[in-house]
Chains A and B, each alone.
Chain A
Amino acid sequence: MVQMRSGLVRPGLIVDIKKIGEMTEITETADGGFRVGAAVSGMELSEHPRFGKVWPGVLEAVNLIGSKQVQGRASAGGNLCNGSPAGDSVPAMIAAGAVVTVQGPSGRREIKVEDVPAGPGRTNLKSGEILVSFTLPPRPAGSGDAYLRMIPRTEMDIAVVGIGVSLTLKDGVCTAARVGLGAVAPTALLVEPAGQALIGSRLDDAALEAAAAACRAACRPIDDKRGTVAYRIKTAGVLLKRTAAIAAKRAGGH
């Protein structure tokens, strides 16, 4: 809609998918996971009694999209299909290990969130396919997630770097970790080596530095009006440490 109003696109046909039940529902799956309809707005997600307790990082990422007014309409589905490398909810969804259900003329398929974006403004959805929902896996005890972004202002801004971290702790040892990284490459990335660097550690300085180094190494940013290459790479490392610390604190609090 925004692109239409600003004259960037002129679609011949507009289909409103915000009235399809499956796309606007939030359900807890039998195994303890969540299914979030692709058109659920940020506001609706934050009003859900349980979602934010289980996935505080995903929720804070979705709620960072725009302002209160924007939150009333904008959805995680739109944020992902928008194809922006800086979309806030995407790294958090990647860290969460979310999978999307896609419906097309020839049926349904499931893809990992990190495989949806194809490049700035582009997705791997085929012509005629739409995103139906996100499925987030069940949460073992001792899990926590977090999302942080660097923006020059404090709100109404676009991420210069965004990082989602999801991890599980058992007796102080990290047993699972995933890191999603945004705004530093043509698409949001799953940084597997960063997660690996944390797994098996007690999130000590050496492990955090190794994970930060993995994030820096994964960056393929550009110099642009929002930040330099050097700044983005450095910031990716700084934010990894800060985000992991918040996720760990939340994991401990479970």
Chain B
Amino acid sequence: MNVVNNKWIGQRTIRPDGVDKVTGRAAFAADTTMPGTIWGKVLRSPHPHARIKSINTAKAEALPGVKAVVTARDIVDFPIEKGAVMLGIQDMRWMCRNVMARDKALFPGHPVAAVAATTEAIAAEACKLIEVDYEVLPWAIEIDDALKDGAPILHEWNKFDGKPSNIMGRLESKKGDIAVGFKDADIIIERSFATRPVHQGYIEPHACLISVAADGKTTIWSSSQGQFMVRAMTSMLTGIPQSDIRAIPAEIGGGFGGKTIVYLEPLATLLAKKSGRPVKMVMTREEVMRATGPTSGSKSTVKIGAKKDGTIVAAHGAFYLQAGAFPGSPIRGAVGCSFAPYDIPHILSEGFDVCSNRSKVAAYRAPGAPIGAYAVECVLDELAEALKMDPLELRLKNAAKEGTKAAHGPVFPRIGYIETLEAAKNHPHYAAPLGKLQGRGVASGFWFNAGGESSAQVNITEDGNVVVTTGHPDIGGSRAGIANICAELLGIDYKRVSVIIGDTQTVGFSNLTGGSRVLFASSMVVTQATDKIIATLRERAAKIWEIDPEAVKWEDGAAHPVSPNAGEFKPLTLADLAEKAPSQGGPIGASVQLNTQGAEGGFGTHICDVEVDVDLGIIRVIRYTAVQDVGRAIHPSYVEGQLQGGVAQGIGWALNEEYIYNKDGKVDNPGFLDYRMPVCSDLPMIDCALVEVPNPKHPQGVKGVGEVPLVPVMAAVANAVNNALGKRFYSLPMSPPKVSEALDAPTQQAAE
């Protein structure tokens, strides 16, 4: 149903949440309050690695104003030896230990106890009165330190290659035989790369307000990327059945993957249950930086072999990703996505999941894929250089297309990767002249995208307007996109469609807002529900007109006879039919619940220009164009916003963002002053070129767009820096002291 003459699909409609957000009315989790609310605070481990021998909470409990204290004893245990208990991609064995340390504290900031008191200050004071007897253990943070002989082992039960190890798992994608492939190569380039852990940098810290009534009925207001995830995890960690937990999604101030797990909710629930009072918890920025999941730091080695004409014959990637305290780094993304844009006969892509004494990683836009793409796309740039080929031509020559089998499994259907390369090549940016100490780089990227479970309820109001309820927190514009689609299908004004996010007890199960799945999946269920409503409306009109429903069509927001043959009737509008509803069969509405399928992967190609201040080592991005196959841009402004946001985050990752550790193994820059995300003035206007190759498996052609735009960025910047300086950086960030040192290194000839 890919209608071309759309009235609302493709329009830059006013965002439904805009006025509230601009005027400050939007209710975020930290804005909520209830009569009798008290404050929860977390006591966190000061040590990177320590055995917890005992915890004495008596003094804290005796402090006036303290209403409850919880420790790991209060959290439901998922014993390690009993095997994995998965909730989505999270293993509850690690979740229960991450929200509260059990036998060992595994990173500075690891929760050890939580207190609820009448004021925030008393709760903080009480935390200091809790006596924890630690046996401090040696620790390892960097991958090399965690892998070397004699490294302190975080999880003593784990073995790799028969020996106790911090490597918690290995994953591979394989196609052909690389040994055979590399034999055919005329040229082979192999390089190693390193990236630092980086945080999602959402502006709103984690926050929740939770009340548990005397009968156990629990209400959670919190900031998350999935109220159903919050309900399920809280239920599993506290033992309260899901039917008793109403998780209400607050407006969310950014997540980028980092709010797909819980930190505070189980603790606040237990504190509320013990104290009988609603408990509010709000993290400080420092807690966010110390104890919530950034994405992994990494080390990788990529080897690519090609023929003289540029045909790639073999590729090998080995990606080591820091998982933090518990297993679960995004090796799947690094392994599966890195080579996916290319049609290569022989591929081996391996990932290693490495634990170390830092906070457990959480998802971050296309988890793992940017790390892999950084290495692969930089090696491709060197290959193009060595073969004296244009880097886009090299990619075009090897581009994956319909029918290409990807190493991670699927055979691609009609995809738009080649279109992004062509669009980049033909973009004026690619031909624009460069000045002194300026350089240009390109890179591509792929992300799987996801479908999965979604539910929607569409109701026609008594006055003939529409309310759509879905179950996904809106962090990327899904409300506006859904309203566009629903208005289009019903043929009514966009303003007549109100889209809201239901809580767990009022709308059917809907999986996380993540994996670039929300508009894909929710527009599918909303389309089906709206189609059902249109069928009902046609039946109602047919009944009134006493003709066959097949003789009624729905057009421009009203029922019409399909042709004069069907009879001459004045159209019945949505308002007319809503008014007559009570006498014509009752309220009009439909709900649909699906496990959606057919989310196809997305591809992007980026062009980046940089200018280098060689005396100070400062790299500035001066022009940037992101080209992406977006399937169908239901709301182009939001799609562009996704692209621009991803690029901004990638530029931060490439140039300045990193966790810096002090000699005690603690994060030394737990705030936005020294954890340097780009500010507006650091970035040029980021141009977007939307390529639309509709997804054949989706009613509106939608593909996920939110994650691809972070994937190519670090490589595009690194390739541009190389083009400007004739010098390559194999580790991120390319921060001024590092760049300056490299430029001053004796082997380097003058840069000008």
Q: Mark B643-667, 1 if CB is under 8 A from A, else 0.
A: 0000000000001100010000000
- Contact (Cβ within 8 A) A228 B737: yes
* CA of A225 to CA of B671, assembled, Å: 12
* CA of A167 to CA of B292, assembled, Å: 50
- Contact (Cβ within 8 A) B615 A238: yes
Chain B residue nearest to A235 in the complex (CB): B616
Is the CB of A120 closer than 8 A to any CB of chain B? Answer: no
Is the CB of A154 closer than 8 A to any CB of chain B? Answer: yes
Is the CB of A110 closer than 8 A to any CB of chain B? Answer: no
* CA of A110 to CA of B277, assembled, Å: 58
Would A153 and B679 be within 8 Å (CB), given that A225-B669, A225-B674 are in contact? yes
- Contact (Cβ within 8 A) A225 B660: yes
- Contact (Cβ within 8 A) B741 A225: no
- Contact (Cβ within 8 A) A154 B741: no
* CA of A226 to CA of B616, assembled, Å: 14
Q: Mark B729-742, 1 if CB is under 8 A from A, else 0.
A: 00000011100110
- Contact (Cβ within 8 A) B617 A231: yes
- Contact (Cβ within 8 A) A225 B668: yes
- Contact (Cβ within 8 A) B679 A228: no
* CA of A225 to CA of B615, assembled, Å: 20
Which of A18-26, A50-58, A155-163 contacts the other chain?
Answer: A155-163
Residues on the B chain within 8 Å of A226, using CB: 674
Is the CB of B676 closer than 8 A to any CB of chain A? Answer: yes
* CA of A65 to CA of B678, assembled, Å: 18
Of the listed residues B678, B736, B744, the one surrounded by the most CB atoms of chain A closer than 10 A to its CB is B736
Would A155 and B679 be within 8 Å (CB), given that A225-B668, A231-B737, A234-B740 are in contact? yes
Would A152 and B679 be within 8 Å (CB), given that A158-B673, A225-B660, A228-B741 are in contact? no
Q: Mark A222-254, 1 if CB is under 8 A from B, else 0.
A: 001111101100110010000000000000000
Would A152 and B736 be within 8 Å (CB), given that A225-B660, A225-B669 are in contact? yes
- Contact (Cβ within 8 A) A153 B615: no
Which of B668, B681, B737 is close to A227, meaning CB atoms less than 8 Å apart?
B737
Which of B660, B736, B741 is close to A150, meaning CB atoms less than 8 Å apart?
B736
* CA of A51 to CA of B673, assembled, Å: 30
Q: Mark A41-78, 1 if CB is under 8 A from B, else 0.
A: 00000000000000000000000000000000000000
- Report A187 CB to chain B, min CB distance, Å: 20
Is the CB of B618 closer than 8 A to any CB of chain A? Answer: yes
Is the CB of B682 closer than 8 A to any CB of chain A? Answer: yes
Residues on the B chain within 8 Å of A234, using CB: 740, 744
* CA of A224 to CA of B737, assembled, Å: 11
* CA of A157 to CA of B675, assembled, Å: 10
B-side interface size class: 20 to 34
Interface size on A, residues (CB 8 A): 19
- Report A107 CB to chain B, min CB distance, Å: 39
Which of A157, A158, A160, A230 is close to B741, meaning CB atoms less than 8 Å apart?
A230
* CA of A31 to CA of B617, assembled, Å: 44
* CA of A157 to CA of B671, assembled, Å: 12
Q: How many A-B residue pairs have CB under 8 A?
A: 50
Chain A residue nearest to B615 in the complex (CB): A238
- Contact (Cβ within 8 A) B676 A157: yes
Of the listed residues A150, A160, A225, A238, the one surrounded by the most CB atoms of chain B closer than 10 A to its CB is A225
* CA of A152 to CA of B619, assembled, Å: 9
Please report which residues of chain B, range 82-111, place their CB below 8 angstroms from some CB of chain A when the two chains form the complex.
Answer: none
* CA of A130 to CA of B679, assembled, Å: 36
* CA of A235 to CA of B735, assembled, Å: 14
* CA of A157 to CA of B655, assembled, Å: 15
* CA of A20 to CA of B735, assembled, Å: 44
Q: Mark B669-706, 1 if CB is under 8 A from A, else 0.
A: 10001101011011000000000000000000000000
Q: Mark A201-230, 1 if CB is under 8 A from B, else 0.
A: 000000000000000000000001111101
The majority secondary structure among interface residues of chain B is: loop
* CA of A226 to CA of B618, assembled, Å: 14
* CA of A154 to CA of B680, assembled, Å: 9
* CA of A153 to CA of B615, assembled, Å: 16
- Contact (Cβ within 8 A) B673 A153: no
- Report B473 CB to chain A, min CB distance, Å: 28
Residues on the A chain within 8 Å of B616, using CB: 150, 235, 238
Chain B residue nearest to A7 in the complex (CB): B124
- Contact (Cβ within 8 A) A231 B676: no
- Report B126 CB to chain A, min CB distance, Å: 15
Residues on the A chain within 8 Å of B673, using CB: 156-158
- Report A128 CB to chain B, min CB distance, Å: 29
* CA of A238 to CA of B737, assembled, Å: 13
Chain B residue nearest to A232 in the complex (CB): B737
- Contact (Cβ within 8 A) B679 A154: yes
Chain B residue nearest to A227 in the complex (CB): B737
- Report B105 CB to chain A, min CB distance, Å: 23
- Report A65 CB to chain B, min CB distance, Å: 13
* CA of A160 to CA of B617, assembled, Å: 13
Which of B669, B678, B679, B740 is close to A231, meaning CB atoms less than 8 Å apart?
B740
- Contact (Cβ within 8 A) A155 B674: no
* CA of A154 to CA of B618, assembled, Å: 10
Residues on the A chain within 8 Å of B737, using CB: 227-228, 230-231
Residues on the B chain within 8 Å of A158, using CB: 673-674
- Contact (Cβ within 8 A) A231 B741: yes
Would A155 and B740 be within 8 Å (CB), given that A150-B616, A226-B674 are in contact? no
- Report B191 CB to chain A, min CB distance, Å: 25
Residues on the A chain within 8 Å of B679, using CB: 153-156
* CA of A4 to CA of B189, assembled, Å: 55
- Report A18 CB to chain B, min CB distance, Å: 25
* CA of A157 to CA of B660, assembled, Å: 16
Residues on the B chain within 8 Å of A224, using CB: 668
Residues on the A chain within 8 Å of B615, using CB: 238
Which of B660, B681, B735, B741 is close to A152, meaning CB atoms less than 8 Å apart?
B735
- Report A242 CB to chain B, min CB distance, Å: 8
Residues on the B chain within 8 Å of A238, using CB: 615-616
Chain A residue nearest to B661 in the complex (CB): A225
Would A153 and B678 be within 8 Å (CB), given that A231-B741, A234-B744, A235-B616 are in contact? yes
Chain A residue nearest to B286 in the complex (CB): A6
* CA of A158 to CA of B656, assembled, Å: 14
- Report B615 CB to chain A, min CB distance, Å: 5
Residues on the B chain within 8 Å of A230, using CB: 737, 741
- Contact (Cβ within 8 A) B618 A152: yes
Residues on the A chain within 8 Å of B681, using CB: 153-155
* CA of A227 to CA of B735, assembled, Å: 10
* CA of A212 to CA of B735, assembled, Å: 23
Residues on the A chain within 8 Å of B678, using CB: 153
* CA of A226 to CA of B737, assembled, Å: 9
Residues on the B chain within 8 Å of A228, using CB: 737, 741
- Report A230 CB to chain B, min CB distance, Å: 7
- Report A145 CB to chain B, min CB distance, Å: 21
Chain B residue nearest to A239 in the complex (CB): B616
Q: Mark B247-279, 1 if CB is under 8 A from A, else 0.
A: 000000000000000000000000000000000
- Report B520 CB to chain A, min CB distance, Å: 35
* CA of A231 to CA of B741, assembled, Å: 7
Please report which residues of chain A, range 143-186, place their CB below 8 angstroms from some CB of chain B when the two chains form the complex.
Answer: 150, 152-158, 160
Chain A residue nearest to B617 in the complex (CB): A231
- Report B285 CB to chain A, min CB distance, Å: 10
Please report which residues of chain B, range 431-448, place their CB below 8 angstroms from some CB of chain A when the two chains form the complex.
Answer: none
* CA of A228 to CA of B735, assembled, Å: 11
Q: Which 9 A-B residue pairings sit nearest by Cβ, starting from the closest?
A: A231-B737, A154-B681, A238-B615, A225-B660, A228-B737, A154-B682, A225-B668, A225-B669, A152-B656
Q: Can you list 22 A-B pairs with a CB-CB distance of less than 8 A? A: A150-B618, A150-B736, A152-B618, A152-B655, A152-B656, A152-B676, A152-B735, A152-B736, A153-B678, A153-B679, A153-B682, A155-B681, A225-B660, A225-B674, A227-B736, A228-B741, A230-B737, A230-B741, A231-B617, A231-B740, A234-B744, A235-B616
**Residues of chain A whose beta carbon lies under 8 Å from any beta carbon of chain B:** 150, 152-158, 160, 224-228, 230-231, 234-235, 238
Given contacts A158-B673, A231-B737, 10 further A-B contacts (CB under 8 A): A150-B618, A150-B736, A154-B681, A155-B681, A158-B674, A225-B668, A225-B674, A226-B674, A231-B617, A234-B740
